[in-house]
A and B are shown apart, each in its own frame.
Chain A
Amino acid sequence: MINFDTTPIATLIDSEAYTYADMQMYVIIMVVLVVSMTIADLIHKGSKTYFDNSAAEAEALLAAGDANCSVGNEEGRLKQLSVGDKVGILANTLAVDIATAGEFTDPVRRLVHILTMYGFVLFNAATAMIIFSEESTVILAQVWNTGAILLFIGSFWYWFSFKVDSVSDAVPWTSVTLRKDSFSLALMATSVTAIGWSITNGGTGIWFALVIFSTASLFGGVYWSKFSHMFFKPVAGYNKRIIKANGTNENLPHEMRDSEWQQNRHSMELLKDAPMDMGLGIKREAPNHY
């Protein structure tokens, strides 16, 4: 079984097959790959331009104001946000959307994402700290192993709950497309090989080779997989909160039954004796795709 107090990296160092310097070089290469491929992806796909244009459009909507409304009432819809407002929103984004995967309403998908994300972060952070501080403390070893296990649970749970579910068009769960599934598969492979490497007490050997293969695929495949997509999430989350707060809200209506003006609109008298909470109708049930 797994010895939580040591990492296979320690065993690798003891075997003298590789030095800390070698491992540091590997980590640096991985980081460079991720950063450069993400930037290349951003430029090639034009995502940065898209996000910039999006933000500019939202500002333009805000500036345009409410002059054009000929039916209904748009008073008080728009609000200029102060720097303080924006800082608060940024903090909120980090705390909820990032830290607790708040963009997902489905509790299972949210949990799965949290497990995978924290597993991945802990595993990588522990790896980097061990390699760059050039020693493997017990705490770091525990974090490393825990990270690998969390990553394992999260990524496999994701595969069987969502990958399978997302192809609920009568396609078997074994149907794999490398282009589409590379990120998920690489995460799964990394976690399995890391755990396998740990159980067999590390060092060189087949598990070590597989770990290198998995991590290289994971970090080296950023340009083709949806890895870089993960970095867009904070940007998208922030943008979503901003437009809700400033009222432009992507042209969504803002009418509510709460205002008296709205309650007096044509046909709203049909609701004058109705409670403000009518319960749920078709939204009562969770979707099950059937």
Chain B
Amino acid sequence: MKAIKTIVEDNIDILVVGAGLGGTGAAYEARYWGRNKKIVIAEKANINRSGAVAQGLYAINCYMGTRFGENNPEDHVRYARIDLMGIVREDLLFDMARHVDSSVHKFEEWGLPLMKDPKKENAEGLAKGAYMREGKWQIMIHGESYKPIVAEAATKQADKVYNRIMVTHLLMDDAQDNRVAGCVGFNVRTGNYHVFKSKTTIVGAGGASNIFKPRSVGEGAGRVWYAPWSSGSAYGLMIEAGAQMTQMENRIVLARFKDGYGPVGAYFLHLHTYTQNGYGEEYESKWFPELEEMVGKRYLDVAASHVSARPIPTCLRTSAIISEMNAGRGPIHMVTMEAFQDPHLEEVGWENFLGMTVGQAVLWAATDIDPKYINPELTTSEPYVMGSHATGCGAWCSGPEDISPEEYFWGYNRMTSVEGLFGAGDAVGGTPHAFSSGSFTEGRLAAKAACKYLDDGKGEGIVVSDKQIADRKDQIFRPLETYRIGRNEITAGTVAPGYILPMPGLQRLQKIMDEYCGGVTVSYMTNDKLLNMGMQKMSIMEEDLEKLGAEDIHQLMRAWELKHRHRTSECVFQHTFFRKETRWPGYYYRGDAMKLDDENWHVLTVSHRDRDTGDYTMSKAPCYHLVNDE
């Protein structure tokens, strides 16, 4: 191996870890409020295409449209609340919803093509010139270059952008307990050790894909719904730093086109397609009475929803698919043949994939599926743990001063329970339905708060000992050494008693999560016994992860991604065990508590992992809701 140099970037004011939509929003806004502050970005891949928006997006799913008189922020809060069965951080949601439109209008100004509604081109009053809506909250865009455009906005403001740095740990202040001091990692190209010393850190790293066994396990393991490079680093970094996490049990299962996981939003909302079971029958309403029994009328009132047109929560619709498939009446199809007869809708239907999930178009081309003549299959995916879609996993963060009740506020917006550590996007818990625009907006909010934190004189007197830096260096590069030494025992091949390589390690994690924490092979079912057994297996795996081996620098990156995924999964187990009810049927089921229990569990779950002992402390946080003043 090449000799490892140590490269230190010091005196940073605002360090952005992970430059996806959340991180780019943070770096962009940080310069506005901190004209003379040193802003540095550390990104695992290349900022121009990194993150979940690499291939582009065909819709912005979080846009109020207040300028066109379309929605108010509180409407969005209620929508997210209903979709998540009541358990959300309504202060953070309202805050995100009231700002998100300014992000979207800026995107358009920078050049992101937003489709206009031809019917509103010459409308009267506010509605004139409105964007093409896919649904109540979604507007349609040609977002193939969404990421390059926002990346440039961030790059222009930052002092330095470090690409290809795998950030493995956050640095902690040795002088004052529970305060962040920057981060460390390694360069995936040169193999050098990088140290970033900063007064504030904004984590915009990824949520977690591939922690549950995926449905496709060969080459197809790459075709996960959420990017395969989202290695749960946001959670891995923050949990390790001792930050409190919330709602980590709230994993998401999606109903998408089979194997390709292509998006269905535009199909349902814009093309007005609908689903049927394998025999051409409507099936959802069959399962709703049973679901209503399970979750209660507060969350699903079959009789009332016909009249009120109140949306059915995502998880319940997914649950109906799962039940119908298990009852032997699959496969579930999307009826596209009617809509695709219209050539304009056909074009939109295909562009929807090409601009967002090209893999689905490739699969249809490979299998000769033309939705004009065939109704394609849907499936329910393996579970994902992230915080910006129809799910709200992430760090427990403070909200904005003017909105948050005292249990939700401790000084600075989007700051975690660790001093100086902020989150944006998937990293922040309790804010589902943020999507791309909302994540970017959260980044902006975190950046402004971080600047305020600095201007208030916080972030002074941070000390990082040489010992901490040296210990981390040793820890980070150890897998290379483990492999190098351990390899001497065997003739050749990948099997050795002294180490495990990252891919088999990942497969082991996926199997544990799948079988004990409610993955696809068990139809998303788990219970207290299984969860306990799973947690034991996780702790044995943690011991084995000390013997991770890496053949080269690329594998070293995979090794640390696995460590982050493992740390995330452990937290998911703890939360899933703690919440003794089935709040989101369709996402997962607690066999020992199959009903929704508002009396005991209308709360947010909050965890804290002790940095030294690794012990978890679980607690309940109150759940507030927005109400109209009389």
Binding site for B on A (CB under 8 A): 71, 168-172, 266-267, 270, 281-282, 289-290
Is the Cβ of B347 less than 8 Å from the Cβ of A71? yes
Is the Cβ of A290 less than 8 Å from the Cβ of B2? no
Is the Cβ of A169 less than 8 Å from the Cβ of B348? no
Is the Cβ of A169 less than 8 Å from the Cβ of B189? yes
CB distance from A168 to the nearest CB of B (A): 5
Is the Cβ of B48 less than 8 Å from the Cβ of A282? yes
**In whole angstroms, how far apart are the Cα atoms of A168 and B552 in the complex?**
11
Between A and B, 20 residue pairs with Cβ closer than 8 Å are A71-B343, A71-B346, A168-B189, A169-B552, A170-B2, A170-B187, A170-B191, A170-B552, A170-B553, A171-B1, A171-B552, A267-B142, A281-B148, A281-B149, A281-B152, A282-B48, A282-B151, A290-B164, A290-B187, A290-B190
**In whole angstroms, how far apart are the Cα atoms of A266 and B355 in the complex?**
14
Contacts of A168 in B (CB 8 A): 189-190
* B298 in the interface (beta carbon within 8 A): no
Interface residue ranges of B344-388 to A (CB < 8 Å): 344, 346-348, 350-351
Closest to A284 in B: B152
Instruction: Kindly identify which residue among A170, A266, A267, A270 contacts B190, using a CB–CB cutoff of 8 Å.
Output: A170
* B163 in the interface (beta carbon within 8 A): yes
B144-166 interface code vs A (CB 8 A; 1 in, 0 out): 01001101100000000001100
Is the Cβ of A169 less than 8 Å from the Cβ of B142? no
Known: A266-B351, A281-B148. 17 other contacts (CB 8 A): A71-B350, A168-B189, A168-B190, A169-B189, A169-B552, A169-B554, A170-B189, A171-B2, A172-B1, A267-B142, A270-B142, A281-B152, A282-B48, A282-B148, A282-B151, A289-B189, A290-B187
Contacts of B189 in A (CB 8 A): 168-170, 289-290
CB distance from B306 to the nearest CB of A (A): 35
Contacts of B12 in A (CB 8 A): none
Evaluate whether A281 and B2 lie within 8 angstroms (CB atoms) in the complex, with A170-B190, A170-B553 already known: no
Contacts of B190 in A (CB 8 A): 168, 170, 290
Interface residue ranges of B163-191 to A (CB < 8 Å): 163-164, 187-191
**In whole angstroms, how far apart are the Cα atoms of A267 and B117 in the complex?**
11
Contacts of B265 in A (CB 8 A): none
Is the Cβ of A170 less than 8 Å from the Cβ of B148? no
* B312 in the interface (beta carbon within 8 A): no
**In whole angstroms, how far apart are the Cα atoms of A168 and B189 in the complex?**
5
Binding site for A on B (CB under 8 A): 1-2, 48-49, 113, 115-116, 142, 145, 148-149, 151-152, 163-164, 187-192, 343-344, 346-348, 350-351, 552-554
**In whole angstroms, how far apart are the Cα atoms of A282 and B161 in the complex?**
14
Contacts of B343 in A (CB 8 A): 71
Contacts of A169 in B (CB 8 A): 188-189, 191, 552-554
Is the Cβ of A172 less than 8 Å from the Cβ of B48? no
CB distance from A78 to the nearest CB of B (A): 20
**In whole angstroms, how far apart are the Cα atoms of A270 and B141 in the complex?**
11
Contacts of B151 in A (CB 8 A): 282
* Those 5 A-B pairs whose CB atoms lie nearest each other, nearest first: A170-B191, A170-B553, A282-B48, A172-B2, A270-B113
Contacts of A171 in B (CB 8 A): 1-2, 552
Contacts of A170 in B (CB 8 A): 1-2, 187, 189-192, 552-553
CB distance from A282 to the nearest CB of B (A): 4
Q: Which of A168, A267, A281 has the most CB of B within 10 A?
A: A267
**In whole angstroms, how far apart are the Cα atoms of A270 and B142 in the complex?**
10
Is the Cβ of A266 less than 8 Å from the Cβ of B552? no
- Chief secondary structure at chain A's binding surface: loop
**In whole angstroms, how far apart are the Cα atoms of A170 and B1 in the complex?**
7
CB distance from B104 to the nearest CB of A (A): 15
**In whole angstroms, how far apart are the Cα atoms of A171 and B2 in the complex?**
6
Contacts of B115 in A (CB 8 A): 267, 270
Contacts of B553 in A (CB 8 A): 169-170
**In whole angstroms, how far apart are the Cα atoms of A124 and B625 in the complex?**
84
Closest to A174 in B: B2
Contacts of A270 in B (CB 8 A): 113, 115-116, 142
Evaluate whether A290 and B163 lie within 8 angstroms (CB atoms) in the complex, with A168-B190, A171-B2, A270-B113 already known: yes
Closest to B132 in A: A267
**In whole angstroms, how far apart are the Cα atoms of A289 and B553 in the complex?**
14
Contacts of B145 in A (CB 8 A): 281
Contacts of A266 in B (CB 8 A): 344, 347-348, 351
Closest to B48 in A: A282
CB distance from B106 to the nearest CB of A (A): 17
Contacts of B348 in A (CB 8 A): 266
**In whole angstroms, how far apart are the Cα atoms of A51 and B48 in the complex?**
37
**In whole angstroms, how far apart are the Cα atoms of A141 and B450 in the complex?**
72
**In whole angstroms, how far apart are the Cα atoms of A172 and B350 in the complex?**
47
**In whole angstroms, how far apart are the Cα atoms of A290 and B145 in the complex?**
21
Is the Cβ of B113 less than 8 Å from the Cβ of A267? yes
CB distance from A146 to the nearest CB of B (A): 36
Closest to A287 in B: B46
**In whole angstroms, how far apart are the Cα atoms of A267 and B344 in the complex?**
11
Contacts of B187 in A (CB 8 A): 170, 290
**In whole angstroms, how far apart are the Cα atoms of A267 and B140 in the complex?**
11
Contacts of B116 in A (CB 8 A): 270
Contacts of B149 in A (CB 8 A): 281
Contacts of B49 in A (CB 8 A): 282
Closest to A271 in B: B113
Contacts of B48 in A (CB 8 A): 282
**In whole angstroms, how far apart are the Cα atoms of A171 and B149 in the complex?**
34
Closest to B116 in A: A270
**In whole angstroms, how far apart are the Cα atoms of A282 and B149 in the complex?**
9
Contacts of A281 in B (CB 8 A): 145, 148-149, 152
CB distance from A12 to the nearest CB of B (A): 43
**In whole angstroms, how far apart are the Cα atoms of A168 and B191 in the complex?**
9
**In whole angstroms, how far apart are the Cα atoms of A154 and B212 in the complex?**
51
Closest to B163 in A: A290
**In whole angstroms, how far apart are the Cα atoms of A24 and B558 in the complex?**
56
Contacts of A172 in B (CB 8 A): 1-2
Closest to B147 in A: A282
**In whole angstroms, how far apart are the Cα atoms of A226 and B49 in the complex?**
34
Contacts of B142 in A (CB 8 A): 267, 270
